[in-house]
Each structure stands twice: as structure tokens, then as C-alpha cells.
Amino acid sequence: MELSSVNKNQKVTVEDAFWSNYKQLVAEQVIPYQWKALNDQLPDTAPSHAIENFRIVAGEAAGDYYGTVFQDSDVAKWLETVAYSLRSFPDPELEEAADEVISLMGRAQAEDGYLNTYYMLVEPDHRWTNLRDNHELYCAGHLIEAAVAYYETTGKYVFLDIMEEYVDLIRRTFGKEAGKLQGYPGHPEIELALLRLFDATGKREHLELAAYFIEQRGQEPHYFDMEKERRHSLDAPPTWNDQNTNFGLGYAYMQAHLPVRQQEEAVGHSVRAMYLYAAMAYLARKTDDAELQAVCDVLWDDVTNRKMYITAGLGSAVNGEAFTDAYDLPNDSMYCETCASVGLVFWAKQMLLLSPDRKYSDVLERAIYNGTISGMDLDGKRFFYVNPLEVNAYQAGRKDQEHVKQGRQKWFACACCPPNLARLIASIENHAYTQTEDTLYTHLYIAGSIQTKIGEVPVKITQNHQYPWYAGITVTVEGEGEFKLAFRIPGWCEGAAASINGKAVGISDLEKGYLVLERMWAKDDQIALSFPMPVMRIYSNPKIGMNQGQVALQRGPVVYCLEEVDNGNRLAGLRLPRESEITAAFEEDVLNGVVILEADGLRAEESEVLYQSHLPAMESVKLRAIPYYAWCNRKAGEMRIWIYET
């Protein structure tokens, strides 16, 4: 596989059975598939019209705007995915298609730099009148991210120039200064995009605009109140939110209930929260702001220790697609949007950059092997928006759970998740390593290599293994000199061992979960890491009422589930005895090759009555569990992660 460049100083390659397959899927299936979607060439699916909207604005097609107010962002995420994918899979034809879309954007851009097809076509006189609901700055953010990624891969400036022109307009429009709007987006995204733009260009004004948007959020008098007041005099179409009033959640719905530095609990729409928190951590790092970093840590603790599913899914309620109270984690009616877990990865990466700590990378790993990739089938053609932990046939007819689909969909009218997952997979290697001045941190075990400099020493390390199925990891070090290599000892792992050139290294003295190896490295030093992967029975904190009496199975970072296709229906009637031995075996022909778990279990005998005064009789059955991310790839049906234990 080709060399790919994560940033100016690092080159990372992926030679990993698991992730190379996913990256190839994105390159060969998802990108072309989404390109068709964006161009309305998929039969029997909700049309996108996203490219056509740009054509109409550019005067190159006739017709009306169609789509959500944030339709532009689908094009942006596709371009961003293309940018990452081109690093590993150069494809001149694809690059040309991308260049053409970028050129179209340039032609669609207004004289003054403005670029949003919804407003340009539907409400040309109402720019910046509904930041609360209409995703204008959100779309700008995704376009900026795409432009940065495209520039970093291709070295081409066109897209970056378009976006910097747009950002200049945004900077002239928003800010604390008199005569500017003191607004900020209802849906965060531009904040982290501007920070990336700052990193790519070195222009401090981009950082300052990001800081403005972050700090202005939730200040009083409340901008969204004033904006709403002003909107009364406009002839603007009503939005979903005019009636829903933030789903009864107030401005907490968009994390604008308080200035961010006063926020102590994760609230509201989970995706918005992730994007905001990621930007806050990014800003804290760029400005060396310990106070803001501390806020991020309080929020991290709240999310990951009180409001996160075992899959790294986020969002307990469909109402507002939002967090609810601590420990409220229903498995069947939750939201767990793919985008939220993707956002959690972005945030985790930013936290790692602030301060390497296993508490961040463990969650990052949990997300990438579970609640993110569950959002796509193994063919890259169907997608989950909502990722349930449990699907029961008897709930299929519930009107209040219509958001929980029992099978993946081809596309969505609101198509945020598929391209979001695609851009994560295409750039998965960006999350494997971080560096400090004297240390190279390995957070993820993704086979392949990184070339970088530690201090002035050129270093290359190469991981070799079959993670996540087996974790005998060999790391070859190329680089001569004194520097530190830090390896994450996964939080799930008991009995890890390490050696250098065959000589055991103690691992009792970890630094925040990392084994830090400092020495005068010589050519071809070899590190061996061993992370035993017995099947783990995972139990919930008793505070999570929904999971009591139940056990989840995890092996390495992979969470398992039972599916109807393997275990029959009525999965809630199955029992896993505490003493049952659970076997694990790699099955090459199943689900692209996965480790399957099997155990002797029981099935409670059903009856004709609802309630009875004796325990149901139990029948012996063989339980078969597959990795959660791969569920619903053979046959639709029931699924559950948490299994009743006896």
C-alpha cells in the first residue's frame, strides 16, 4: 500500500489486514457510491441533489434547490474523504472529478466570497439570519476541513483559496467588534475547521476566529434570542425548530446554554457536542490554555464515565438525538448516531494531543472497532444512522422507535453519517500516533509504519501483527539515537508483556497507561508486545439499570453480539451461564474473517402465559457471538449485546 502523509512531519502507512480492507472499501466502493448519490444516480434512494445545487447556483443548470439546509456538507465530506483516500490510493480520474467539483464551487461562489447553496437559492436575502437552525457556518466548516485535507494531499491551493475567501467574509461578518454580528453556529463544526486551517496556513486570524466562535457561545444576552427577535420581521420560512423549540432542551440542545468554560456536563445533541468539545481541546492546545483543557477533561469524564455505551455509542434519546442524564443508557431506543461516535474519535485525538493518556486512546479504540464501523455494511453500500445495542422483533412496530432501523439503508435524506464514516476510515492512520518533543506515542495498533523525526533524529517504526484478532505485536525500530517510544498498553488488557530484542521489559511502571521505552536505539531494534486477548465478560456499573443481570462479551477491543441468524429469535430468552467456557476461533470465511465466540448456553422455555410462578425450564443451546460492528450483514433479525447471565 502506498505511503500516505498525515502531516508535514509524519508519513504513515497502513499495512493492516483489518484497516487496509476498510480503506480499500472506501476507495473502491464508498467513494464511487457516494459520488453517485451526490449526483442522484442511485436508484430507489432519497435523491441528494447536492452537486446539482452548486450547478444551479453557478448558473450552469436550471431548477430549484433541493435537500436539507446542510446539503453542501455532504459534498464537503466526500471531498475530504477523497483527499485522504488519494494518499493511499492515487487515482487521477478521481482527483480530476474532485478538481471539477472544486472548480464548480469556485464558479458558484459569490463575488464577496459567500458560498452556501441553500441560502443562495432559497433565501438569498437572509444570509446569517438563522445561525441557530440552518447550518450555514456548519457547512462552511465542512468545506474548510475538506479544503485543508485536499491541500495537504495534493498541494493544490484552489479549494483552500476559495475557502479562505469565504472565511474572510465570515471574519468581516462575525466578531465582538461593533458592527459585526455576535453570533456563532447552532451546530459546531467551523471551530475545529478553522483551527485546522490555522495549522495548514499558519495564519493566526483563523485561530482567532475559531476562538471567537468558541468563547462567544452561550454568552448573555443570548445571541439566539436576539436573532429570533430579528427574524420576526423577515419573511423567512419556518424551520423545524420554530415549533420544536430545541426539543424541549433549551439551548443545551446545542451546548449554548452556558459559556463553554462553565459547562460541566455533556448535554444536548451528541454530534454537536463532540464537534464542539473537539474544537475546545484543539484550541486549548494551540493556545496552551490549561483552564480550557480542564473543562475538556471534566466533559470527557462525564461522557465516557457516565453517558457512553459499551460500543462508544453516544446519545440515549431520539428526542434531540441527545445525551440524557447520567447512566440513562437504554439499549433499544437510544440514538447512537454513527456521526457521534465518529466525533468522539476526533475529540479523543485532540485530547491525546493535549496530553497522552490511555483514558483517551482506550475510548478512541473502542469507537473505531465498534460504534463507528457498525454504521456501514461490509460491502460499503448500506448504512446505519442509528446503531442500536439491541433489536427485538417485538419492538419493530413501535412508532416511537422508528429511528431504529432493523437493517442498514442505502442512503438517507439527511446523509451526514455515511460520508462522515468514510472520511474517518480514509484517515484512520491519523489517529494512530502522536508526538511530543522527545516521544513518539503509539495509540493504535494498526499494522504499517510511521516515519518521523523525534527531535532531530529520523525514526521509522513498523508495526507487524494481526490486530484486533491477535495481539502479538512486533515493532521494528529504525533510527539511531536517544529518544522515547511510548506504547499504549490497552486498558482492557491484563497480563501484557513487552521485550526489546528478546529481553523482557517491565511493564509495571506505566505512564498514564503507556509503556515508555527510552534508550539509545540501534538499527533494527525490535520490540515485542504481547496483549493477551482472552474473552472478557464485561459487567455494567449497577447505576446503569438497563444492563443489570447481563453480561457483554469483549475480546481485545472488539465488542460482541448475538444475532438471530446464529441463535434463533427471542434473544432475550437466552442465558449465558457464568461458568460456561467461551471459545474464540478465527473463521476466515465469515464476515470477511472474524474471530467468532462460542459457548454453551441456555434458552428459557417459552409459554403461553405472560407470568408464571416457576422459573421457565432451560434448554441447552450453543451460543454464537460475532463482532458487533459486523451485525446485520447476513440476514436482518434480532441482535443483542447484553446477554442475560445465570
Rounded alpha-carbon distances, angstroms, from residue 478 to 68, 450, 525, 527:
50, 10, 7, 11
- The residue type at 624: R
Tell which residue, 168, 192, 169, has the closest CA to residue 80: 192
As measured in angstroms, the least distance from the Cβ of 577 to its own copies is 12
Indicate the residue among 233 and 612 with the shorter CB distance to its own copies: 612
In this chain, which stretch among 40-48, 195-203, 408-416, 541-549 interacts with its own copies, using CB under 8 A?
541-549
Instruction: Determine which residue in the list 59, 179, 221, 397 makes contact with its own copies, applying CB under 8 A.
Output: 397
For 481, phi and psi rounded to 5 degrees?
A: 145, -175
As measured in angstroms, the least distance from the Cβ of 608 to its own copies is 6
Q: Kindly state the cell numbers that stand for 172.
A: 468581516
Indicate the residue among 15 and 645 with the shorter CB distance to its own copies: 645
Our finding on whether 255 is near its own copies (CB under 8 A) is no
Cis peptide before 468 (omega within 30 of 0): yes
Assess whether 598 carries a catalytic annotation.
no
Residue 101: burial class (beta carbons within 10 Å; 0-12, 13-18, 19+): buried
As measured in angstroms, the least distance from the Cβ of 400 to its own copies is 5
Indicate the residue among 328 and 600 with the shorter CB distance to its own copies: 328
Our finding on whether 609 is near its own copies (CB under 8 A) is yes
Q: Where are the alpha helices (DSSP H) in 413-464?
A: 417-426
Question: Total binding residues for its own copies by CB under 8 A?
Answer: 67
Q: Kindly state the cell numbers that stand for 90.
A: 492515487
Contact 85, 109 (CB under 8 A): no
Our finding on whether 392 is near its own copies (CB under 8 A) is yes
Our finding on whether 398 is near its own copies (CB under 8 A) is yes
Our finding on whether 542 is near its own copies (CB under 8 A) is yes
Our finding on whether 237 is near its own copies (CB under 8 A) is no
Report CA torsion sign: 212, 218, 219, 223: positive
Our finding on whether 586 is near its own copies (CB under 8 A) is no
Our finding on whether 394 is near its own copies (CB under 8 A) is yes
H/E stretch holding 593 reads none
Q: Kindly state the cell numbers that stand for 233.
A: 420581521
Q: Which of 416, 417, 493, 561 is catalytic?
A: 416
As measured in angstroms, the least distance from the Cβ of 516 to its own copies is 24
As measured in angstroms, the least distance from the Cβ of 636 to its own copies is 16
Indicate the residue among 121 and 572 with the shorter CB distance to its own copies: 572
Our finding on whether 318 is near its own copies (CB under 8 A) is yes
Indicate the residue among 499 and 548 with the shorter CB distance to its own copies: 548
Q: Which of residues 319-338 bind its own copies (CB under 8 A)?
A: 319-320, 324-329, 333
Torsion over CA of 465, 484, 291 and 344, rounded to 10 degrees?
-10
Query: What gap in Å lies between CA 372 and CA 344, rounded to an integer?
Result: 9
Indicate the residue among 410 and 537 with the shorter CB distance to its own copies: 537
Instruction: Determine which residue in the list 107, 548, 583, 622 makes contact with its own copies, applying CB under 8 A.
Output: 548
Our finding on whether 395 is near its own copies (CB under 8 A) is yes
Instruction: Determine which residue in the list 47, 106, 573, 577 makes contact with its own copies, applying CB under 8 A.
Output: 573
Instruction: Determine which residue in the list 505, 538, 596, 621 makes contact with its own copies, applying CB under 8 A.
Output: 538
DSSP letter string, 71-136: THHHHHHHHHHHHHHHHHS--HHHHHHHHHHHHHHHHHS-TTS---HHHHHT-TT-TTS-TTTS-H
As measured in angstroms, the least distance from the Cβ of 104 to its own copies is 40
Assess whether 416 carries a catalytic annotation.
yes
H/E stretch holding 442 reads strand 439-442
As measured in angstroms, the least distance from the Cβ of 558 to its own copies is 14
As measured in angstroms, the least distance from the Cβ of 247 to its own copies is 6
Contact 165, 109 (CB under 8 A): yes
Rounded alpha-carbon distances, angstroms, from residue 609 to 113, 395, 573, 595, 618:
69, 19, 15, 39, 17
Instruction: Determine which residue in the list 396, 505, 528, 621 makes contact with its own copies, applying CB under 8 A.
Output: 396
Indicate the residue among 71 and 550 with the shorter CB distance to its own copies: 550
Contacts of 608 (CB under 8 A, 6+ apart): none
- 3-class SS of residue 448: strand
Q: Which of 123, 136, 189, 321 is catalytic?
A: 321
Query: What gap in Å lies between CA 320 and CA 248, rounded to an integer?
Result: 8
DSSP letter string, 329-353: --SSS---BHHHHHHHHHHHHHHHH
Indicate the residue among 1 and 538 with the shorter CB distance to its own copies: 538
Our finding on whether 426 is near its own copies (CB under 8 A) is no
Active site residues: 321, 416
Q: Which residues bind its own copies (CB under 8 A)?
A: 247-249, 304-306, 308, 310, 317-320, 324-329, 333, 390, 392, 394-400, 492, 494, 536-546, 548-550, 552, 554, 570-573, 603-616, 644-646
